[in-house]
Amino acid sequence: MVLEVEHETLYRYHGSVELAQHIAFLRPRDDAAQRLLDFRLQIEPPPSQLRSDLDAFGNVRTLFALNAPHESLRVVARSRVRVSPPEALPPAPAWEAARGRWRYVAGRAPDPAAEFAFASPLLPQHPALRAWAEPSFPPGRPLDEAALDLMHRLHRDFDYVPDSTEVDTPVLEVLLQRRGVCQDFAQLLIAGLRAMGLAARYVSGYLLTEPPPGQPRLQGADASHAWAALALPGADGAPAGWLELDPTNDCVAAAAHVRLAVGRDYGDVPPLRGVIRGGGRHRLQVRVSTRPAD
C-alpha cells in the first residue's frame, strides 16, 4: 500500500520569538519493510540554518534555526511511503530464554537490541510495573504469546481518553489512573516488557486516517501515533527481529502503520521540539492526514 501523509504543526506565539533552535523527527524511516518514495519539508518562516543527520537509532532528524524575530512557526511534512505487511516471524522461544539473550555474558558480542532492555529517562524500572506485567508471563510461555497477552490486557483494562495526560505524564501515573492516549499506552507496554527483562522500543508514526471499506477506524488516526516493538531473538547470533504491537488498537502494526522513528521512549523522538528566546505563551495546532495515494 502506498500512503501519503501530511503533518502540519503550527505555533502561534503571544509575543515575538527572537531566536529559535528546533529538532524535527518528521521524515519516515526507509528500510526493507517501508520504502520512502518522497519527502518534502516546508518551514515558515524560512530557517537561517537547516541540516539533516542520523541519530544513534538510525532515525533521520532535521535541525533548523530561526535567527530573525517571528510570531508564528509553521512546519509541514509531506511524505509518500510504500508500506508492506509484516513478514512472518519464526517461532518465538520461551520468554525466559529470550530474556537471557539481553543479559551481559563475558565473551559474547552484545546484540544491538540489548540497549532497549534497560530503564530510560521516561521509563524507570519499578516493582509495580513488574507486578502488572507478570500475570502474562507464566513459566515456559512463548515470548510473542506472552507479549500479545499483555497488550490485550492493557487494551481491555485501560481507557483511551484524549487530553487526559500530558507528554510528560509519568508512566506510573498512567498505570495508576488506568487511562491515557497512544503515547501513554505504548510507553506502559514497553515498561512492562522491560520489567520482565525483555527488550522493547518506542515507535512513533502515523495511522491510515480512513480505513478500507468494512474495516474499523483505528484510534489515534487524526494525530501522530505511537506503538511498541518487542525484540525477538534471532537464531545463531542473527540480529533480533521486531514484533510491533499497537496497544491503543489491540493489534499488530501492519500496512496501515507508517513508522517515523524509533527510540527508548517518547523523549528520544518527539515529532518537533526546540528551544526559543522570547515568545511568551503560545497556542499549538497539529493536523495529520494519512490516506492512500491516488
User: Do 167 and 67 share a structural domain?
Assistant: no
233 has pLDDT over 90 = no
User: Do 206 and 275 share a structural domain?
Assistant: no
User: Do 47 and 186 share a structural domain?
Assistant: no
159 has pLDDT over 70 = yes
Tell me the C-alpha distance between 82 and 39, whole Å. 12
C-alpha cell at 98: 529470550
User: Do 256 and 113 share a structural domain?
Assistant: yes
Residue 89 lies in a domain: no
Residue 263 lies in a domain: yes
Residue 132's domain comprises 95-268
CATH number where 24 lies: 2.60.40.2250
pLDDT at site 211: 65
24 has pLDDT over 90 = yes
CATH number where 177 lies: 3.10.620.30
Is residue 31 within 8 A of residue 292, CB to CB? The reply is: no
User: Do 262 and 274 share a structural domain?
Assistant: no
pLDDT at site 137: 98
Tell me the C-alpha distance between 257 and 263, whole Å. 17
Q: What φ, ψ does residue 144 adopt, rounded to 5°? A: -65, -35
250 has pLDDT over 70 = yes
User: Do 279 and 138 share a structural domain?
Assistant: no
Q: What is the mean predicted confidence (pLDDT) over 184-204?
A: 97
220 has pLDDT over 80 = no
Residue 56 CB-density burial (10 A; 0-12 exposed, 13-18 middle, 19+ buried): exposed
Q: What is the mean predicted confidence (pLDDT) over 182-206?
A: 97
Domain tally for the chain? Answer: 2
Is residue 3 within 8 A of residue 259, CB to CB? The reply is: no
Confidence of residue 168 (pLDDT cuts 50, 70, 90): confident
